[in-house]
Amino acid sequence: MGIREITPAEVCERLARGAVFLDVREEHERVSGQAEGARGVARASLEADPSFYAPDRHAEVVLICQQGGRSLQAAQALQAAGYTNLASVAGGTSRWIAERLPVVRPQMDAGQLDFHERYSRHLLLPEIGPEGQRRLERSRVLMIGAGGLGSPSAYYLAAAGIGHLRIADDDVVERSNLQRQILHTEARIGMPKVDSAQAALSALNPRTQVEAVAERVTSGNIDRLLEGVDVVLDGADNFPVRYLLNDACIRHARPLVYGAVQRFEGQVSVFDAGRQRGVAPCYRCLFPEPPPPEFAPNCAEAGVLGVLPGVIGLLQASEVIKLLLEIGEPLTGRLLHFDALAMRFRETRLRPDPGCSVCAAGKPFPGYIDYQQFCGVR
């Protein structure tokens, strides 16, 4: 016997006859409202122990979900388990609401409601779900730079629900920044960038704690900046800081999400040699020595397409989230190059250098150096 599909209007008469009415959506889906009279139970929980929710296998059981598909599948599973009187609501809760039938909201405090509403699209993803979202909320990320790369990265990491963003930058907002550094506004010209970032990100997501550190990153404060963080995002615009970040992340065994832009091109990678010595490469494996300053002009000297840092910064934010959730394949051992003019991505495989001065397997940490002198910066 097939599963009966009924309209929302038909549910009421079945409830009057004593039918069991179950909403098989996930808890976060029911926050926006569920059919009056329905008991919420996730489909997986129902199928794992149907007798707990519907003890009588011959009593009428009506199932509802969002659109009607999952409730029909759940009914088929119950039928296979020996239930004989099953119905699924065609069109689900969406149709129920469209037909203006009574809806109730589960009881929860303001914080729970905010969590479920704010992250509802993440909660629908099996790879994230409530557990993964809570994990993001417990995470701490260090961001170096609140400029071109830091702006889009910070926006999306805060929106995604990272619990703590520590942002270090000693610069102030200038009008020339606004072409690409979208954290900042005309009204905040002259303000420290970290304070401007804190204002923008707190307005976007008050659940994210933004720690503003108005300091230049040096070997004297890098260990303190790395304290307690899970992932480091490199939004720096100079080689001394990049080499320092690399060395510090190896010392503290923290993954480093690297990004760089110039003119119309950018690149992204993940350097995780601190946790995977001899297996994953570090920044020095890619660039054992910095290029001469005359061959590596910064954005102020060479220019940069305004949208380019947005592309690269969002790729960096994606890698941070993947690392925190331990999902997907991070860019460890791969350098992703983007050419905006050609609209083309190119990937280069990277291998660890067995002779690397910092990350070679079994090699003790050599200590920090004079990175300005190493990079030939006066």
Q: Where are the chain's structural domains? A: 4-107, 139-374
Q: Which two tokens stand for residue 86?
A: 């099953």
Architecture of the domain whose range is 4-107: 3-Layer(aba) Sandwich (3.40)
List the Cα angle 99/101/102 in 5-degree steps. 155
Q: Residue 308's Cα: distance from chain center in Å?
A: 20
Confidence at residue 295, expressed as pLDDT on a 0 to 100 scale: 60
3 state DSSP class of 174: coil
How far is 196 from 351, CA to CA, in rounded Å?
39
Catalytic residue selected from 285, 299, 356, 375: 299
How far is 238 from 19, CA to CA, in rounded Å?
68
Residue 303 and residue 263 in contact, taking contact as beta carbons nearer than 8 Å: yes
Residue type, 204: L
The sign one gets for the Cα dihedral 92, 98, 102, 104 is positive
Alpha helices, H only, the chain: 8-16, 27-30, 43-48, 50-53, 69-80, 92-98, 110-118, 120-123, 129-137, 150-160, 193-204, 222-226, 239-252, 283-286, 299-302, 308-325, 371-374
Residue 23 and residue 34 in contact, taking contact as beta carbons nearer than 8 Å: yes
List the Cα angle 160/156/217 in 5-degree steps. 115
How far is 308 from 149, CA to CA, in rounded Å?
9
HSE (side-chain half, CA atoms, 13 Å) at 118: 19
DSSP state string for 191-253: SBHHHHHHHHHHHH-TTSEEEEE-S---TTTHHHHHTT-SEEEE---SHHHHHHHHHHHHHHT
Which among 375, 337, 357, 378 has a CA at the least distance from the CA of 241? 375
3 state DSSP class of 20: strand
The highest-level CATH class for domain 139-374 is alpha beta
Confidence at residue 32, expressed as pLDDT on a 0 to 100 scale: 82
> What are the counts of helices (DSSP H) followed by strands (DSSP E) for the chain?
17, 15
What is this structure's pTM?
A: 0.87
The answer to whether residue 299 is catalytic is yes
pLDDT along the chain (378 residues), means of 10: 89 92 92 92 95 95 96 96 96 95 87 91 93 97 97 98 98 96 97 98 98 97 98 95 97 97 96 95 94 68 91 98 98 98 97 94 92 86
Find where tokens 């397997």 sit.
361
